[in-house]
Structure 1
Amino acid sequence: MSVEKVDTIIVGGGQAGLAMSEHLGRRGVAHLVLERNRIAERWRSERWDSLVANGPAWHDRFPGMTFDGIEPGSFATKEQIVEYFEAYAKQIAAPIRAGIDVTSVQQKAGGAGFLVETSEGSFEATNVVAATGPFQRPIIPTVVPAESNILQIHSNHYRNPGQLPDGAVLVIGAGSSGAQIADEILRSGRRVYLAVGPHQRPPRSYRGKDFCWWLGVLGHWEAKTRDPSMEHVTIAVSGARGGHTVDFREFASRGMTLVGKADFFKDGVMHFEPDLADNIAQGDANYLSVLDEADAYAERNNLDLPEEPEARDIGPDPQCVSDPILQLDLAKAGVTSIIWATGYAFDFSWLKVDAFDDKGRPVHERGVASVPGLYFLGLAWLSRRASPFIWGVWHDADYLGDQIAGRPENIAGTDKIASSAAR
């Protein structure tokens, strides 16, 4: 079987792969995007039915295209996001081949470049960009045995309350996904328990500006280094129902039972850590810190923004916080489902190169791997806080485009166009 040769192969046809394709195309670097399913597949099949973007349409997009038929301040549905990426791929004439699974990437023996094995044959590439994003392998802790007769699914398999058996639901994880899913299930009339760990809880908007705007002007999106103490802290924010600030006290006022971080399961009983009040308080502190920074910025820059003193009103702790449940007999509580909103792990098993540390994390500098010609894109904190978001990945791809086009192996071929790769 013949081996097809391409200057650069991009693995993944989501937001990272499309951004990388645009910037390589602008620089005349011949390339090919290999996607095992369809463009933006995770938005299509790995998200719940009612999901909308967590940022407004003016923010959660690429610079070269706005959303069609959506007000800038509204929140795009997952279907609209898929349509957006499909249209963007056409606009930039991205050379995408869908339905091709990359099974192996390894360095060529005795020479520069890579041998890429796929479900549709072999390729040789001078460069490879791993653009598979941060949501690779769902994490479900092995806490509750499978034989416990309780439905257990990860948040990426949750679609709507109707798919769950009758009974109460325990949602573990209170970041954006866990908070929104728990709220939706509660609104459907179910009994809901929500395990709340450490989290950040920014205001949806403040003084007439969305939190995405505030994080921009305050420099938070440009933060280069993650605070080690916040390594596993999630962000609770929502664009659902027109966008609103996530308020766990408000959840409790509507009947949701908040519990602390899940600890262990034994003899049908789930045990929780006694950290709920501290986690809620730390979330409040994060919320108020954003308001403080915003007020100081507005005063410093003489901005004529409406005052919003009521935003600082925080009600008393509900009983489930002041007198927390530390043990829950799931059968007695009628819990028949557990949804694990517990994040994702890397899965670079197809990338058979020495480019990872002892914990399996990519070794790179702003996406440039330790292996010449290998690049990573779309990962959290790749270069800054904005890196895994739609507009952030676009700017990271711009930087990597310069790195790839500037390699000696590519300079001689920058006048080539990827039309042959689009077959």
Structure 2
Amino acid sequence: MTVETVDTLVIGAGQAGVAMSEHLSRHGIGHVVLEKDRIAERWRTGRWDSLVANGPAWHDRFPGLTFDEGGEAFVHKDSVADYFERYAARIDAPIRCGVEVRRVSRLQGRPGFRVETSAGEFRAQSVVSATGPFQVPVIPAVIPPETAVQQIHSADYRNPDALPQGAVLVVGAGSSGVQIADELNRAGRKVYLSVGPHDRPPRRYRGRDFVWWLGVLGKWDMAAPAPGTAHVTIAVSGARGGETVDFRRLAHEGLTLVGRTERCENGILYFAPDLATNVARGDANLLSLLDEANAYVAANGLDLPEEPEARIFPDDPDCMTQALAELDLAQAGIGTVIWATGYALDYGWLDVDVLDETGKPRHQRGVSPVRGLYFVGLPWLSRRGSSFIWGVWHDAAHVADQIGIQKTYETYDAQAGGLGAAAE
């Protein structure tokens, strides 16, 4: 069998893989990007039909190419996928689609890796995992599978018409859960939304999108989540041109809010008595950002319109003041439970001792302790902004820099004059 040799092999051709290809090319580092599906496939088929980006087009992009929609538009998922295909073509990225990586292991007695794929074997000095965080949908083992209700993950939701008849319970009040629940309610379904701890930033405030405020306030550069907030989700939406998520408003429009889903016994779901507390904490998060924004405006003498109505919340709906403690799925007519409960990582193909006890890779800004092995595209890889498209681009630049630095050391020749001499 023919073995193909490459300097750097990148696994995955989503936004992280495309960004890595651009920065590796700038360093003159030979590489290939392997993708088991199509470029940016998760944007096309791993999301619901109406999904749009959660950041405006001017912000949530790579520096070298704008979206056709431009400005404050929230780009549809298919346009996002098209964008990365255009970007890959623009930089002439050496991407090979339809190639699945099955195993990566270290070479014995010499640097580099053996990469087994559906298209044969590769040998690479460096390997970059750009597979992203959305790998294995997580459905908690709460409702027994024999319960007469369909259970799906938000990754498998497409549109209201694709669900069986009946009411719907959506578990998870982050961006995905809120948008799906709202869409189903607008389609005429009876919807219950299980609300856990969350941050709830304003979509816009004083004429600027919240991504702008996070930028000028330095919050994108946070190196790590605050203690106790690592798993707190963000309730924000770009749907219908972008709007601030307001759980009270959603309830007044027909949704029934409940607390965190805890357990299920004999077809009855039990909820934690934390609904009001979770909503109040989300309110506090919003108000704190408004306070910081106001202070920034005053300190910098900006002429931005005041917006006192941003602090006014609707009255508490009945489902908050008289929160349900339990719900009989059959009596409520629940036909589907949608778990918007996130994803787990899957590095089953990585036969290298680099994962911690939770299955997460050990790394420092994407550089693992195993020489030649790197990661890009993970949340909080270097900072809070790592989860956004533009943040991935900057993280990939750092990782490519580190690969380039290591290549410089590899060319060390003491007799010829030191670093890089062998390449001169």
Deviation at 1:356, TM superposition (A): 1.1
AA at the equivalent of 1:66: T
Deviation at 1:359, TM superposition (A): 1.2
Contact 2:249 2:314 in 1 (8 A): no
> Structure 1, residues 49-85: CA drift from partner, whole Å, max 9, x if none?
00000000001100000012x1311110011101100
Deviation at 1:411, TM superposition (A): 5.7
User: For residue 253 of structure 1, what is the aligned residue in structure 2?
Assistant: 252
Contact 1:199 1:236 in 2 (8 A): yes
AA at the equivalent of 1:332: Q
> Structure 1, residues 100-157: CA drift from partner, whole Å, max 9, x if none?
0000000001111100000110000000000001111100011112211211100000
Aligned-partner SS, 1:230: coil
Partners of 2:19 and 2:411 lie apart in 1 by: 23
User: For residue 52 of structure 1, what is the aligned residue in structure 2?
Assistant: 52
AA at the equivalent of 2:191: V
User: For residue 140 of structure 1, what is the aligned residue in structure 2?
Assistant: 139
Aligned-partner SS, 2:221: coil
AA at the equivalent of 2:288: S
AA at the equivalent of 2:63: P
Partners of 2:127 and 2:197 lie apart in 1 by: 37
Contact 1:271 1:326 in 2 (8 A): yes
- By relative contact order (CA 8 Å, sep 6+), the higher-ranking structure is 1
AA at the equivalent of 2:168: V
Aligned-partner SS, 1:76: coil
Deviation at 1:412, TM superposition (A): 4.6
User: For residue 161 of structure 1, what is the aligned residue in structure 2?
Assistant: 160
> Structure 1, residues 380-423: CA drift from partner, whole Å, max 9, x if none?
10000001210001001111111001114786599xxxxxxxxx
1:40 and 2:40 equivalent?
yes
Question: What 5-or-longer segments of structure 2 have no aligned partner?
Answer: 413-419
User: For residue 87 of structure 2, what is the aligned residue in structure 1?
Assistant: 88
User: For residue 416 of structure 2, what is the aligned residue in structure 1?
Assistant: none
User: For residue 97 of structure 1, what is the aligned residue in structure 2?
Assistant: 96
Contact 1:133 1:388 in 2 (8 A): no
User: For residue 196 of structure 2, what is the aligned residue in structure 1?
Assistant: 197
Aligned-partner SS, 1:306: coil
Partners of 1:370 and 1:155 lie apart in 2 by: 34
User: For residue 240 of structure 2, what is the aligned residue in structure 1?
Assistant: 241
Partners of 2:290 and 2:226 lie apart in 1 by: 20
User: For residue 19 of structure 1, what is the aligned residue in structure 2?
Assistant: 19
Matches within 5 A, 1:117-128: 117-128=116-127
User: For residue 379 of structure 2, what is the aligned residue in structure 1?
Assistant: 380
Partners of 2:254 and 2:79 lie apart in 1 by: 33
Structure 1: which 4+ aligned runs deviate by more than 3 Å?
408-414
State TM-score, norm by structure 1: 0.96
User: For residue 419 of structure 1, what is the aligned residue in structure 2?
Assistant: none
Partners of 2:233 and 2:82 lie apart in 1 by: 28
State TM-score, norm by structure 2: 0.96
Partners of 2:54 and 2:281 lie apart in 1 by: 21
Question: What 5-or-longer segments of structure 1 have no aligned partner?
Answer: 415-423
Aligned-partner SS, 2:127: strand
Contact 1:29 1:410 in 2 (8 A): no
User: For residue 388 of structure 2, what is the aligned residue in structure 1?
Assistant: 389
> Structure 1, residues 164-206: CA drift from partner, whole Å, max 9, x if none?
1111000000000000000000000000000000000000000
Compared CA separation, residues 64 and 366, structure 1 to 2 (3 A): same
Matches within 5 A, 1:271-282: 271-282=270-281
Contact 2:48 2:157 in 1 (8 A): yes
User: For residue 2 of structure 1, what is the aligned residue in structure 2?
Assistant: 2
Contact 2:136 2:346 in 1 (8 A): yes
AA at the equivalent of 1:100: V
User: For residue 109 of structure 2, what is the aligned residue in structure 1?
Assistant: 110
AA at the equivalent of 2:190: R
Contact 1:14 1:39 in 2 (8 A): yes
Contact 1:174 1:196 in 2 (8 A): yes
AA at the equivalent of 2:46: E
Shifted more, 3-12 versus 70-79: the winner is: 70-79
Partners of 1:290 and 1:100 lie apart in 2 by: 45
1:232 and 2:223 equivalent?
no
Matches within 5 A, 1:152-191: 152-191=151-190
Partners of 1:257 and 1:410 lie apart in 2 by: 61
Partners of 2:323 and 2:369 lie apart in 1 by: 48
Deviation at 1:315, TM superposition (A): 2.2
Partners of 1:155 and 1:50 lie apart in 2 by: 13
User: For residue 28 of structure 1, what is the aligned residue in structure 2?
Assistant: 28
Contact 2:191 2:255 in 1 (8 A): yes
Contact 2:11 2:17 in 1 (8 A): yes
User: For residue 404 of structure 1, what is the aligned residue in structure 2?
Assistant: 403
AA at the equivalent of 2:297: A
User: For residue 332 of structure 1, what is the aligned residue in structure 2?
Assistant: 331
Task: Give percent identity, aligned residues only.
Answer: 61
Partners of 2:242 and 2:374 lie apart in 1 by: 35
AA at the equivalent of 2:163: L
AA at the equivalent of 1:91: R
Partners of 1:386 and 1:130 lie apart in 2 by: 19
Partners of 2:70 and 2:21 lie apart in 1 by: 27
Deviation at 1:216, TM superposition (A): 0.4
Aligned-partner SS, 2:17: helix
Aligned-partner SS, 2:192: strand
